[in-house]
Each structure stands twice: as C-alpha cells, then as structure tokens.
Amino acid sequence: MAIEMQAPKGTKDMLPEDAYKWQYIEGVFRNVAKTYGIREIRTPMFEHTELFLRSVGDTTDIVQKEMYTFNDKGDRSITLKPEGTASAVRAFVENRLFNEAQPTKLYYVTPAFRYENVQKGRLRQFHQCGIEVFGSNAPSMDAEVIAVAMDTLKKLGLKSLSLNINNLGCPECRPKYNEALKKFLQENYDGLCDTCKSRFEKNPMRILDCKEKKCHEITKNAPIILDYVCEECGDHFGKVKEYLDILGLPYTIDPGIVRGLDYYTKTIFEILTSDFTVCGGGRYDKLIEELGGPDMPAVGFGMGIERLIMTLEKEKIEIPKETLFDLYIGARGEAEGKFAFKLANDLRGLGVKCEINHMGRSIKAEMKYANKLGAAYTTILGEDELTNKKINLKRMSDGEIFEVSLDNLEEIAKVVR
C-alpha cells in the first residue's frame, strides 16, 4: 500500500524556481548589516525550553500557544526556536562576549517555528532575519538599529513605509502603569477572553496585545503608558526622536504598540506598509542579566522573510533573478562531448556558470533546452571547431555572434560573463 507523503501543515517547500527570492532578500540584508559593522551569528535550531520561558515570557502568546516543545531522549524539555533574540543573548552570555570591547553588533538569518493558525503570510516554519546590538544604552543606538531596518526595506524597493514608535518604560516605572491598567480593566474583567484573564494579575500589558476582538474593544481606551514613564525613560525617548530627526526618518508615536514579547523595555518600534507589519523590534535592557550575564543593555529587531516576499509581490516589486547559466556548450559527437565536458570544467574554474548535454539530446533539442534554462550564451562544438580551435559564442538575447579562440579561456569567460 502506497504511503502518501506530504509536508507537515504550516510548512512549505522552497523549490529551486523560488529560492532566489530568499537569497536576494538575505543578500540585501547581509550587505546592509555589513555597512554598519554588524557580524553574523548562527545559533542552534533548538534550545532548552527554559530559555524561552525566561526571555519571551510565560504570559505571551508564543509561550502559551505557539511553541514546539518536546522531551528529548534524555528527558530534557527542548523547544524549536520561535524567534532569534533569546538564542543570540544566550550565545552572548555563554561565550562571554560581554568581556570584549562593546558594543557587540550581531545579525542572523534563521528558521523559526511557531504553532500558529495557518493563513496567508503565517507559516509554522518560517525564516527570520534580524540584528541584536549589546552593550550600548545610547539613544543613538536605538535610532541606528531602526535605520538598519529602514535601509534594508528601502533597498528592497519598498517605498510607502510607516515607522511607529513607543516607549514601554522600565522596571522602575512600569509597575505604576500596570496598576493603572489593572484598575481600568477590572471594570470589564468578565468580558476578557480566558487567556487574558490569566494574564490580568501577572502581566496585564499582555492583554493590550490580544488579537481577540472583544479584548481589543475593551482595551482601545486603556491608559497610555507614555503618561506613566519615569524621567529617565522619558528623556531617553526624547533623544531617540531627536536622532531619528537627524536621520530624516519620519515617525508616528503609537501608544498602542506593546509588541508580543515580555523582554522589551523603553523604545519599541514597528515598520508597516499599507497592508503588513514587516519589521518589529526595540530595546531590552534587562534580558542579558536575566539570562545570567552582566547588567548590560541591548536593542534589536526581527523581520519575517516570507512576509517580506509577500509584501514585495503585493506591491509588484520584482525580485531580480540570477542568470542560471552563462554558457551552454552543445556537442555534435562523442569526441566533441568529451571536449565540452573538459571545457565546461575549466571555465567553471574561472567563475563561468556552464552546462553541457548530459541527456543525449540532439543539437536542436540541446539549443531548445538551453533557451529554456535561460542561458546567456550558447556554443556548439563540432569537428571544425576542434580542428580550428575556434568557437562561436551566440548571445541569446539578440543573436549576436562572437568568435573566440578555444586556447583563450580568459577571453571566453570575459565575453559570457
């Protein structure tokens, strides 16, 4: 009996004809990161569950509803990585990078896993790129992190971008806000969803992030945290705005932003298009200490690559395709085929992307196949070409012919690249 094999719900195969989209976005992001002196970090795909309970927060949707958690053969609780920040902080602490000169600027491109309701733009395995900067509490660093995100999105071709910012305060001033928020919510407690009722005592701010319609209606007139922040947090936020003004980055103050993770303090931000939130991040000055490191500030952001692809397609921004082959080499006979095999290998050594006939096709079928592959140039090797040591390179875009010597591989490479 045949077994029907399908990808698990919420996952998607990245086929060769689509992979270039991920590669392009990752390439743009990596290049922008490098201009800011940000270095790559790669962390494991899974971590001890306790890491995410302590960092992301046990009252968040991610921990309460979305984590892929299991016990391994050693009966240890393991969780597939739901986001990139916690792992980066764990690596920073474990490898004692805090002993190096600061700030430490890191970027990552990673798969992430969340058990979500599958819908357009939301998968259970997705890909995220982000940066984390450790060691600086300067408001200029908040603005620089936002600038990295905006630069990346603009270089991808997105134009109608909105930057929304807020200030979540710190452990000194947030308790005052939580008390005011609880007092407001108490009057409508019975109308909250069961999840938000469980958050009421421990973390009432999480209720502001609930996606349930009835909770959203209850909280739309809730107290604003900006009215409760301490002098230090207010001063920091004011300077962040000054640095954004210096960079010429317009912004909107949105008191409704709380983000979906517990570790944020002070500055938080979201970048939106007309339809989607494409980036979110902020400052998290206590997380390093909570995970066993020194008292050290941090700030960063994350972007979902699938969400970016969907946004680019919706805005009809074409992601450029890379030429698969610079040159397709056809051959008329067995001797010519062996020569083509060697020639292609030699040209690959010079960085030329080559393909030859591995399927026994006729010359006509070879050229049709080369055209289907999108080869930039083609050539056909026959007895005359091997005798005269010359070949004709045909540019497929306009049919122009270039005669070159088979003894001059550098010239062939120069023409076709």
166-183 pLDDT tens trace: 999 998 988 898 899 899
* 152 in a labelled binding site: no
Query: What's the predicted TM-score (pTM) here?
Result: 0.90
* 107 in a labelled binding site: no
Residue located via tokens 């407001």: 184
Instruction: Please report the pLDDT score of residue 293 as a whole number.
Output: 96
For residue 29, give the nearest of 144, 186, 133, 150 by alpha carbon: 150
CATH of domain 327-416: 3.40.50.800
* 130 in a labelled binding site: no
* 128 in a labelled binding site: yes
* 132 in a labelled binding site: yes
* 323 in a labelled binding site: no
Residue 401: φ, ψ to 5°: -105, 135
* 219 in a labelled binding site: no
Instruction: Please report the pLDDT score of residue 61 as a whole number.
Output: 61
Residue 385: partners with Cβ closer than 8 Å, 6 or more residues away: 336, 391, 406
What's the distance, CA 306 to chain centroid? 8
Residue located via tokens 């699938």: 306
Written as six digits, the tokens of 186 are 């108490």
Are 306 and 127 spatial neighbours (Cβ–Cβ below 8 Å)?
yes
For residue 131, give the nearest of 376, 300, 318, 349 by alpha carbon: 300
Written as six digits, the tokens of 76 are 């240890």
pLDDT digit string (tens) for the chain, length 417 residues: 556 689 999 999 999 999 999 999 999 999 999 999 999 999 999 999 999 988 776 556 667 678 999 999 999 999 999 999 999 999 999 999 999 999 999 999 999 999 977 776 678 999 999 999 999 999 999 999 999 999 999 999 998 899 999 999 998 988 898 899 899 999 888 888 988 888 888 788 878 878 788 888 888 888 988 999 999 999 999 999 999 999 999 999 998 887 656 788 999 999 999 888 999 999 999 999 999 999 999 999 999 999 999 999 999 999 999 899 999 999 999 999 999 999 999 999 999 999 999 999 999 999 999 999 999 999 999 999 999 999 999 999 999 999 999 999 999 999 999
* 377 in a labelled binding site: no
Given the DSSP bridges, would you call strands 46-48 and 77-80 parallel, antiparallel or unpaired? Answer: antiparallel
Q: Indicate the fold that domain 16-173+229-314 takes in CATH.
A: BirA Bifunctional Protein; domain 2 (3.30.930)
* 47 in a labelled binding site: no
Q: Where are the domains of the chain?
A: 16-173+229-314, 175-220, 327-416
Q: What is the DSSP letter of 110?
A: E
